[in-house]
């Protein structure tokens, strides 16, 4: 028993040190840097400047942030539309099929997402696999323009992030008592009513968690939009990278990163509020 608590203490303090050193400290450095003037060094820092944060509200940067948010929201919606039925099928599938299907969801994780994105290029390009197949079948006589379109960007983002939607939805479906559906049916609910009033509310935690897990990374995955979309529009992720690497304005890049994190934090807080309220609702 005593050994157990010692082990636990060691484990917890080890984890805390790890998180502290590798997550909290860099974040504090980033936070302090975001209040410096361009070219400022954190060790010789004197004042706190808000210039970088006011620059975030310039029309160009603001529209860029909106574009990024729309793209991420679209990706989350598409993932939900594809992932929801799949998670349902996954839960209803037999004991032999289910592990296999889950494995198929996980396998892409074994390959680096950058490599998978380049693999998509081979599929989508004008002389790529899809176009070659359609031409061979005689369905088209000119190659389709698939690469460097918003369609390609959505294909890439949904393909990369879909597992993050499926897994929480799968957990939510798994926790749902299937007898409730039968009970609803016994009480005279039609299929649509069963779906909207029983299945959706009960899987809501999974829907929200999945949406968060897709939306937040989609904001940062600028390389997919660059490679598949042709980098014609600028996203928040590009902007932050350019500030650090191209324009060497570390404080501005830090400010944009902090702003993005705060925005995400607000979303998570709203999620927390919503889930608490729905929890209270259940109690009443």
Partner 1 sequence: MKPLVSTLAAVLLLLCLAVSAHSSNRVLNLYIWSEYIPDEVVAAFTRETGIRVNLSTYDSNEAMYAKIKLIGSGYDLVVPSSDYVGLMQREGLLLPVDTTKITNFAHIAPRFTNQSFDPNNQYSIPYMWGSTSIAVHTGMIAAESVQSLADLWQPELKGRLLLPNDPREVMAIGLKVLGYSVNETNAEHLQQAYEKLRALMPLVRVFDSDSPKQALLSREVAVGVVWNGEAYIANSENQAIEYVYPPEGFSLWLDSFCIPRGAENIEAAHLFIDYILRPEISAEISTAMGYSTPNKAAFAHLDPETKDNPIVNPDPEDAARGEFLDSLDDATLQLYEQHWINLKTGR
Rg (CA), the chain: 23
Tokens of 45: 């820092």
The answer to the question of residue 246 lying near partner 1 (CB under 8 A) is yes
**Binding of partner 1 at residue 242 (CB under 8 A)?**
yes
Closer to partner 1 by CB, 210 or 229: give it: 229
69 binds partner 1 (CB under 8 A): no
Q: Which is nearer to partner 1, 164 or 222 (CB)?
A: 222
Q: Which of 154, 170, 173, 239 binds partner 1 (CB under 8 A)?
A: 239
Neighbours of 72 (CB within 10 A): 23
| Comparison of 51 and 278: residue with beta carbon closer to partner 1 | 51
User: Counting contacts by CB under 8 A, is residue 59 touching partner 1?
Assistant: yes
Q: Burial level of 141, CB count in 10 A (0-12/13-18/19+)?
A: exposed
Q: What's the closest the beta carbon of residue 63 comes to partner 1, in angstroms?
A: 6
Residue 233, CA distances (Å) to 32, 42, 145, 230 in order: 30, 32, 18, 8
Best CA proximity match to 52, nearest among 258, 275, 279, 277: 258
CB of 18: closest distance to partner 1 in angstroms?
22
Q: By three-state DSSP, how is residue 61 classified?
A: helix
| Per-residue binding letters, 139-178, with partner 1 (x by CB under 8 A) | ----x---xx------------------------------
| Minimum separation from the CB atom of position 161 to partner 1 (A) | 22
φ and ψ at residue 155, rounded to 5 degrees: -55, -50
Closest CA to 206 of 238, 179, 174, 184: 174
- The residue from 64, 166, 172, 209 that contacts partner 1 (CB under 8 A) is 64
Would you state the torsion angle of the CA atoms of residues 153, 156, 157, 163, taken in this order, to the nearest 10 degrees? Answer: 160
Packed helices 250-283 and 236-245: angle between N→C axes, nearest 10 degrees:
150
Q: Which is nearer to partner 1, 132 or 178 (CB)?
A: 132
Mask for 197-236, x = binds partner 1 (CB under 8 A): -----------------------------x---xxxxx--
Structural contact between residues 123 and 139, judged by C-beta atoms closer than 8 angstroms: no
Which CB sits closer to partner 1, 149 or 275?
Answer: 149
- The residues of the shown chain that bind partner 1, judged by CB under 8 A, are 38-39, 59-61, 63-64, 67, 121, 125-128, 143, 147-148, 226, 230-234, 238-239, 242, 245-249
């Amino acid at each position: 028993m005593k050994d157990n608590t010692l082990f636990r203490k060691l484990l917890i303090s080890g984890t805390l040190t790890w998180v502290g050193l590798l997550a909290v400290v860099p974040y504090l450095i980033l936070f302090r840097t975001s209040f410096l003037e361009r070219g400022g060094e954190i060790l010789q820092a004197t004042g706190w400047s808000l210039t970088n944060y006011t620059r975030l509200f310039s029309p160009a940067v603001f529209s860029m942030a909106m574009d990024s948010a729309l793209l991420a929201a679209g990706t989350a919606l598409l993932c939900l539309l594809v992932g929801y039925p799949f998670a349902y099928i996954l839960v209803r599938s037999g004991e032999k099929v289910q592990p296999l299907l889950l494995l198929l969801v996980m396998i892409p994780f074994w390959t680096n997402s950058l490599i998978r994105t380049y693999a998509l290029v081979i599929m989508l390009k004008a002389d790529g696999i899809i176009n070659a197949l359609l031409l061979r079948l005689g369905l088209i006589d000119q190659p389709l323009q698939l690469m460097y379109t918003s369609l390609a960007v959505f294909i890439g983002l949904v393909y990369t992030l879909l597992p993050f939607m499926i897994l929480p939805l799968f957990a939510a479906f798994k926790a749902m008592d299937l007898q409730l559906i039968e009970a609803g049916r016994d009480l005279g609910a039609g299929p649509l009513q069963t779906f909207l009033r029983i299945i959706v509310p009960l899987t809501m935690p999974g829907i929200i968690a999945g949406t968060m897990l897709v939306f937040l990374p989609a904001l940062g995955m600028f390389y997919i939009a660059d490679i598949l979309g042709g980098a014609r529009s600028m996203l928040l992720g590009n902007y932050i990278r350019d500030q650090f690497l191209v324009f060497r304005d570390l404080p501005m890049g830090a400010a944009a990163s902090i702003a993005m994190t705060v925005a995400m934090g607000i979303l998570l807080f709203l999620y927390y509020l919503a889930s608490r309220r729905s929890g209270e609702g259940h109690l009443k």
